[in-house]
């Protein structure tokens, strides 16, 4: 369902004053509410008006002030279609379908991960592709001083505390899909007050931490929106073909008790909108009187396929055999002699009257930022795609002599947004006629856009899960082999550079010179295996810092969805809806390095880490790695405690654990008001005992002896400690818990259950371990072990071999956000004293094993290499592969 607003252009389709609704007077036998004014339609026998297509109900007095478009035409009115990112089907409580306006708890439904769009699975074909435009910057077209952000209004499903910004009264309704709300700033209004709202949007209370869409670009690739947003793609439902977006209708004649009525009064027809729907046996049914005229049958068919057009351009025929042959229906009683196959309903074709010599086509400007949404081009049987591009450029007041720089894109906005590049020599009239003949419904949701061939956006691809701590040339050769470009000349390679390379985590960034090359590389790499590990491949957005407001401090949100009670999934969905979805990242997909790389050019920004102590330590370690390449050296970090212990979060007043009752928008307000504090950190240096070399025989050569000698530095590692270090029983308990959770992760879904497991393991251990009093030290702690001991650093446990452990002050500092006292909410905000003994905390991350980078203080430079620098003569690299 779409409402009047900036993203809707009434000139795209002539819908009349009823906004595309097909209203009919109806008597309601039960209490019903008006979807426009939310008032009750009084009386058990009172008449109102109901749309036969989308079930919109209203009073007679509200007909002239309706602002909601019918779902049957809304799909064709969107200026810039953006595909939704659907969740898994489920029964969603207390929501309404945005297509049929009925409750979503009555049937399987899905919701968009980015905006508040809810729809039944059976209505998903008619969903309007008007998700939020999260990246709108276009080089050479936008300037920060002239660009204006407009509201993105969504009808219905408002929060309970919504109040109208015009009349200040509540506009929330539990009875029907009613009310309007901006998806960016959250301002709400009644439908009757909607037109009095200001059209410009300032992002509301989250303006300071919002990443505005006009400062963000995304690569123009053929990849789905789920992949661009770093969201796990959902399994597509067993869908009907795109040519007929409706339920598959059975062909058997009903055997219910209504048969006699059907035979006496009405005829139920199976209607096909083209050859494709007949071939796939996908149709819609329409009930008409047996004495209906051809015009009435045609009008009923147009309504069933939600086609709003001049009815005189259409006609109906009957299917006379299984081969698809057809003949015209003729008045006065066309259904009297219609063919009805045995046990099946009559089959009707809805067709368009085509002119064999000429036609008109709408051409859209899209991202060209032309002053008009579309232009109309006349085509003949000799017109090719290249001619259409030239005519459209002239209509858009662009130089038509540069038509070779543009492509014509065929874009379908049904069930998402899919596009195809048209052949420049393709006959345009035949292309349009084939679309109509194949499926009339699909023809009406297909648009033609003029688009530049050269994509002005960057094409950066993040690749993770590579082997760690290799040499730069080895990483380059791995990628060249996986991409199939090994042996090519540097000028022929599809990428412009490889880097930065994060050696400690086996991750890097590749920059490509075209969208086609980037798409091809992503499709190759996302299924590639390297050392028995599947690679993590992500397309990255690009931020334009010059477009940011001067007082803006965008918030980078990093969520570990598996922390503690696995509450991160709810939070990441909420933050994607409240903020720009491109500023919210799941750290289990590429780690914190992905978000930190995207934000590297911003001078001032904040970080919100949603996880436990292990996740926070992971983020701070990644900050130590990337800060030398970033504009912001020490971005302050806030915490949403999702772990089990959450010790650092308690110290910084963020509470002992996220309960799920907190409003996510209140958390973001706390981040805005939080105070910045400096966090001292410590370095824990582990040095193993030198292993004794095996006894040498007299015949052993000195060269062989040299090969068995090891560098002492290879047996030394260092981990930065942010909060606490444990050795002995507490680390042993933590390690046992980690092992149990790794073995059965599905059982550890509750923070309370996790704590009971801690207590159970701790009680078992305390009877068999003895405690050791350690002396207090200010600058250095040195521990010597003569056998393997369990140790943990910030909740990350492992078994440490015999050796020496030194704990010293580190020069690395961290800037943290401490929650302001005035914004503390409830018992979860209780602060523990800094000197208080902290409970053992454990929270998982991919660094739970001993693969923690060493020497974080002296990281190697994260070099960037170009194709010219890649040489295949390195015998060591070839031997590695």
pLDDT digits (tens, 9 = 90+) for 700-748: 444 443 443 444 445 677 888 887 777 777 777 777 777 777 777 666 6
pLDDT digits (tens, 9 = 90+) for 122-176: 888 888 888 998 888 876 654 545 678 899 999 989 999 899 999 999 999 998 9
pLDDT digits (tens, 9 = 90+) for 831-861: 333 333 233 333 333 333 333 333 334 444 4
Please compute the mean of the pLDDT values over residues 260-276 and round it to a whole number: 75
What is the predicted pLDDT for the residue at 241? 37
CATH code: domain of residue 476: 3.30.70.330
Contacts of 617 (CB under 8 A, 6+ apart): 720, 722, 723, 793, 794, 795, 796, 847
- Structural contact between residues 368 and 398, judged by C-beta atoms closer than 8 angstroms: yes
List, as own/partner pairs, every contact residues 871-880 make where C-beta atoms lie below 8 angstroms and the sequence separation is at least 24, other chains included.
872/477, 872/480, 872/486, 872/487, 874/473, 874/477, 876/471, 876/473, 876/474, 877/471, 877/473, 877/474, 877/476, 877/477, 878/477, 880/470, 880/474, 880/477
Please compute the mean of the pLDDT values over residues 194-215 and round it to a whole number: 91
What is the predicted pLDDT for the residue at 862? 56
What is the predicted pLDDT for the residue at 146? 63
Please compute the mean of the pLDDT values over residues 91-118 and round it to a whole number: 92
Residue 241 lies in a domain: no
Express as a percent the part of the chain with pLDDT over 90. 22
For β-strands 374-380 and 180-182, DSSP reports them as unpaired
Please compute the mean of the pLDDT values over residues 533-540 and round it to a whole number: 90
520 membership: H or E segment, kind and range: helix 515-525
Query: How many distinct structural domains can be found in the chain?
Result: 5
pLDDT at 323 over 80: no
Residue 749 lies in a domain: yes
pTM: predicted TM-score of the whole model, two decimal places: 0.81
Residue 192 lies in a domain: yes
Question: Over the Cα atoms of the chain, what is R_g?
Answer: 32
315 and 372 housed in the same domain: no
- Structural contact between residues 346 and 283, judged by C-beta atoms closer than 8 angstroms: no
Express as a percent the part of the chain with pLDDT over 70. 78
425 and 491 housed in the same domain: no
440 and 465 housed in the same domain: no
466 and 391 housed in the same domain: no
What is the predicted pLDDT for the residue at 587? 92
CA 509 to chain CA centroid, nearest Å? 21
What is the predicted pLDDT for the residue at 264? 62
Please identify, among 297, 330, 352, the residue that sits at the C-terminal boundary of a domain.
Answer: 352
- Report helix angle 729-743 to 751-766, nearest 10: 130
22 and 62 housed in the same domain: yes
What is the predicted pLDDT for the residue at 462? 92
590 and 654 housed in the same domain: yes
CA dist 500 to 390, 544, 579, 671, Å? 42, 19, 28, 30
479 and 605 housed in the same domain: no
CA 253 to chain CA centroid, nearest Å? 43
Residue 736 lies in a domain: yes
What is the predicted pLDDT for the residue at 528? 87
Please identify, among 169, 186, 202, the residue that sits at the C-terminal boundary of a domain.
Answer: 202
Residue 853 lies in a domain: no
What is the predicted pLDDT for the residue at 491? 59
Nearest to 620 by CA among 793, 736, 798: 793
Q: What is the mean pLDDT of the chain?
A: 78
719 and 836 housed in the same domain: yes
pLDDT digits (tens, 9 = 90+) for 853-873: 333 344 444 555 554 444 443
Residue 399 lies in a domain: yes
pLDDT digits (tens, 9 = 90+) for 346-398: 888 899 988 888 999 999 887 777 878 888 999 998 999 999 999 998 888 88
pLDDT at 470 over 60: yes
- Structural contact between residues 497 and 868, judged by C-beta atoms closer than 8 angstroms: no
Contacts of 698 (CB under 8 A, 6+ apart): none
What is the predicted pLDDT for the residue at 137? 84
45 and 165 housed in the same domain: yes
CA 728 to chain CA centroid, nearest Å? 43
617 and 559 housed in the same domain: yes
Per-residue buried b or exposed e for 732-762, using 16+ beta carbons within 10 Å of the residue's own CB:
bbbbbbbebbeeeeeebeebeebbebbeebb
Residue 244 lies in a domain: no
479 and 435 housed in the same domain: no
271 and 408 housed in the same domain: no
What is the predicted pLDDT for the residue at 863? 53
What is the predicted pLDDT for the residue at 576? 94
Residue 819 lies in a domain: yes
With cut-offs at 50, 70 and 90, classify the pLDDT of residue 691: low
Please identify, among 432, 452, 472, the residue that sits at the C-terminal boundary of a domain.
Answer: 452
Domain residues for the domain of 378 are: 362-452
pLDDT at 415 over 90: no
CATH code: domain of residue 303: 3.10.20.90
């Amino acid at each position: 369902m779409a409402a009047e607003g900036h993203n809707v252009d009434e000139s795209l389709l002539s819908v009349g004053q009823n906004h595309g609704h097909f209203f009919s007077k109806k008597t309601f036998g039960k209490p019903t509410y008006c979807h426009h004014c939310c008032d009750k339609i009084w009386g058990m026998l009172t008449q109102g008006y109901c749309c036969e297509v989308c079930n919109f109900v209203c009073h007679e007095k509200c007909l002239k002030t309706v602002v909601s478009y019918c779902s049957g035409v809304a799909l064709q009115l969107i200026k810039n279609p953006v595909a939704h990112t659907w969740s898994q089907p489920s029964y969603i409580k207390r929501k309404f379908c945005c297509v049929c306006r009925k409750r979503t708890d009555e049937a399987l439904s899905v919701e968009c991960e980015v905006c508040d769009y809810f729809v039944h699975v059976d209505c998903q074909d008619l969903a309007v592709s008007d998700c939020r435009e999260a990246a709108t910057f276009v080089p050479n077209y936008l300037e920060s001083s002239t660009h204006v952000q407009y509201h993105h209004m969504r009808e219905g499903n408002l929060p309970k505390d919504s109040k109208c910004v015009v009349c200040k009264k509540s506009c929330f309704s539990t009875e029907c899909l009613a009310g309007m709300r901006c998806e960016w700033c959250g301002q709400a209004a009644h439908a009757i007050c909607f037109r009095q709202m200001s059209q410009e949007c300032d992002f509301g209370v989250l303006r300071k931490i919002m990443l505005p869409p006009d400062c963000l670009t995304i690569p123009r690739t053929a990849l789905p929106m789920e992949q661009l947003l770093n969201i796990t793609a959902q399994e597509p439902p067993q869908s009907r073909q795109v040519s007929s977006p409706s339920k598959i209708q059975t062909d058997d004649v009903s055997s219910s008790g209504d048969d006699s009525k059907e035979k006496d009064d009405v005829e139920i027809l199976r209607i096909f909108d083209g050859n494709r729907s007949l071939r796939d046996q996908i149709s819609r049914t329409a009930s008409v009187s047996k004495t209906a005229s051809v015009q009435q049958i045609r009008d009923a068919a147009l309504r069933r396929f939600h086609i709003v057009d001049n009815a005189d351009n259409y006609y109906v025929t009957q299917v006379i055999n299984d081969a698809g042959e057809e003949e015209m229906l003729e008045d006065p009683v066309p259904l009297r002699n219609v063919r009805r196959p045995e046990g099946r309903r009559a089959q009707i074709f809805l067709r368009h009257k085509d002119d064999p010599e000429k036609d008109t086509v709408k051409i859209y400007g899209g991202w060209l930022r032309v002053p008009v949404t579309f232009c109309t081009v006349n085509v003949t049987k000799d017109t090719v795609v290249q001619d259409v591009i030239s005519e459209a450029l002239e209509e858009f007041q662009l130089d038509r002599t540069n038509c070779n720089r543009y492509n014509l894109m065929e874009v379908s906005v049904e069930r998402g947004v899919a596009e195809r590049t048209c052949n420049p020599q393709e006959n345009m009239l035949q292309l349009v006629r084939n679309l109509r003949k194949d499926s009339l419904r699909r023809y009406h949701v297909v648009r033609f856009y003029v688009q530049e061939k050269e994509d002005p956006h960057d094409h950066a691809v993040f690749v993770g899960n590579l082997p760690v701590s290799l040499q730069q040339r080895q990483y380059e050769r791995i990628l060249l082999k996986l991409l199939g470009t090994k042996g090519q000349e540097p000028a022929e390679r599809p990428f412009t550079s490889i880097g930065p390379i994060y050696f400690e985590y086996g991750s890097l960034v590749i920059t490509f010179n075209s969208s086609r090359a980037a798409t091809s590389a992503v499709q190759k790499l996302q299924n590639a295996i390297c050392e028995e590990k599947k690679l993590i491949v992500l397309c990255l957005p690009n931020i334009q810092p010059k477009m940011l407001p001067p007082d803006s401090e965008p918030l980078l949100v990093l969520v570990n969805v598996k922390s503690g009670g696995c509450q991160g999934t709810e939070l990441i969905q909420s933050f994607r809806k409240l903020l720009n979805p491109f500023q919210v990242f799941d750290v289990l997909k590429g780690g914190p390095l992905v978000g930190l790389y995207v934000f590297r050019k911003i001078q001032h920004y904040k970080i919100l880490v949603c996880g436990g102590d292990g996740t926070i330590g992971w983020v701070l370690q990644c900050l130590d790695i990337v800060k030398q390449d970033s504009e912001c050296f020490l971005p302050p970090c806030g915490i949403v405690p999702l772990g089990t212990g959450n010790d650092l979060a308690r110290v910084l007043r963020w509470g002992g654990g996220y309960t799920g009752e907190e409003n996510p928008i209140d958390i973001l307000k706390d981040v805005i008001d939080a105070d910045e504090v400096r966090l001292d950190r410590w370095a824990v240096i582990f040095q193993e005992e030198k292993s004794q070399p095996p006894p040498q025989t007299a015949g052993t050569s000195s060269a062989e002896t040299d090969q068995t000698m090891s560098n002492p530095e290879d047996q030394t590692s260092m981990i930065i400690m942010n909060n606490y270090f444990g050795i002995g029983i507490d680390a042993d308990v933590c390690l046992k818990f980690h092992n149990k959770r790794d073995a059965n992760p599905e059982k550890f879904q509750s923070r309370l259950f996790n704590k009971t497991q801690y207590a159970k393991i701790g009680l078992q251990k305390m009877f068999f371990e003895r405690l050791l009093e350690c002396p207090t030290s200010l600058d250095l702690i040195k521990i010597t072990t003569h056998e393997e001991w369990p140790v943990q650093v910030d909740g990350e446990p492992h078994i440490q071999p015999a050796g020496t452990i030194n704990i010293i002050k580190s020069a690395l500092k961290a800037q943290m956000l401490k929650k302001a006292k005035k914004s503390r909410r409830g018992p979860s905000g209780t602060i523990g004293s800094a000197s208080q003994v902290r409970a053992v905390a454990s929270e998982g991350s991919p660094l739970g094993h001993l693969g923690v980078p060493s020497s974080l203080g002296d990281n190697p430079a994260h070099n960037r290499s170009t194709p010219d620098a890649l040489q295949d003569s390195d015998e060591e690299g070839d031997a590695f592969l």
